[in-house]
A = this chain, B = another copy of it.
Amino acid sequence: MALELGYTADYHVHLRQDKMMKLVTPTVKQGGVSIAYIMPNLVPPITSLDQVVKYKQELEQECDSTTFLMTFYLSQELTPELVEEAALKKAIRGIKCYPAGVTTNSNAGVDPNDFSQFYPIFEVMQKHGLVLNLHGEKPSTSNGDGKDIHVLNAEPEFLPALFKLHADFPKLKIVLEHCTTKAAVDAIHEINKDLKQGEQPNVVASITAHHLYLIVDDWAGNPINFCKPVAKLPDDKRALIAAATSGKPYFIFGSDSAPHDVRKKAVHTGVCAGVYTQPFAIAYLAEVFESQGKLDKLKDFVSTFGNAFYTMDESKLRSKQKCWLVPKESVVAQTVSTQDLSVVPFRPGAKLKYSVEWR
């Protein structure tokens, strides 16, 4: 039986630039997503009104039914005044914070040990309801005097910074993006432990599709499964599946779909981090939700909770069609390609039980 999923939203999307943008932007709709929240880690990063307006226009030219929500890249370039102007003009919906050096195009990022220089910006964000999107990892270090940080504990070690931010800005809307550990899931539960039925959370976590499938073994030797944060242990994966299917309003879908040309994946060193899930996003999720007997929670995860958190105004949608999940097999493409580019999607060749339709 077909399942109506509403105005589906992916609150963490990388659509890149130029040829890659043209290739992957139409796959947002193909994957069953109506609303795409767009990451700003372009080259150069998006830190001005002109950039964000121009980028949105470019994206809108590639697909006339996808609604694009835009973001700034948190960096020294931003000022409280600029952020306020962007908020008032509704040019952006949030600001993405990358710790320096942890993933693709994060070199302009910040030091997660000290957010205080950005507090004037966070004040403005809190005032205007802008969302702070946190890449929640500490940069790796094992040569200093302090504690070792590596790709496996980088997220748990970031969590105290999340608690501090929330304590300092209790009304600021914060997303712990693409969380990958039981520790992160537990932290989000802890922050929301007193949330009453029907009340809106201020701190939520986004969860990707691929982290519901992968553990460390799956990216060891398989660059197409390598992303940041890296997939962790079986216990972590089980905690993520439980969170995504929990029906709790503080776990929302953000695919972190991150396309790279296969020539940047099939290299012996310096593999680009990112898993590309966009063209089959909802079908990947449906497979997992069904395996847990929780298909009835899928709409919450991919529409209701995220749209409520982001106070998505349905009157602003570019299309009023809703996504329907239909019990019709889809086969993941081996590649998504043009003449110049070839991106290998997650689980190439896999048979998925579901497809999506727009009605």
- Answer whether residue A197 sits at the interface, using C-beta atoms and an 8 A cutoff: no
A142 to B214 alpha-carbon distance, docked (Å): 11
Closest CB in chain B relative to A101 CB, distance in Å: 12
Known pairs A142-B234, A234-B142; A223 contacts B269 (CB<8 A) = yes
Shortest beta-carbon distance from A219 to chain B in Å: 7
Which chain A residues in 243-299 approach chain B with CB under 8 Å? 262, 265-273
Number of residues of chain A lying within 8 A (CB) of chain B: 33
Q: Is A9 an interface residue (CB 8 A)?
A: no
| Residues A144-171 near B (CB distance < 8 A) | 148, 150-152
Contact A270 B222 (CB under 8 A): yes
In chain A, positions 190-239 with a C-beta closer than 8 Å to chain B are 215-217, 219-226, 230, 233-235, 237
**B220 lies within 8 A of A230 (CB):** yes
If A233-B148, A233-B150, A234-B150 touch, whether A268 touches B224 (CB-CB below 8 Å) is yes
Which of A150, A216, A220, A273 counts the most B-chain CB atoms under 10 A from its CB? A220
What residues of B have a CB within 8 angstroms of the CB of A270 in the complex?
221-222
How many of these chains are in the complex?
2
Contact indicator A268/B344 (Cβ below 8 Å): yes
| Best-buried of A140, A223, A230, A237 by chain B (most CB within 10 Å) | A223
CA distance A270 to B220 in the complex (A): 9
Known interface pairs A142-B234, A148-B234, A233-B148. Does A271 touch B223 (Cβ–Cβ under 8 Å)? yes
Write out the residue numbers on chain B whose beta carbons fall within 8 Å of the beta carbon of A265: 268
Measured CB to CB, the nearest residue on chain B to A266 is: B268
Q: Closest 10 interchain pairs by CB?
A: A142-B234, A221-B271, A265-B268, A148-B234, A266-B268, A222-B269, A224-B268, A223-B268, A140-B217, A266-B267
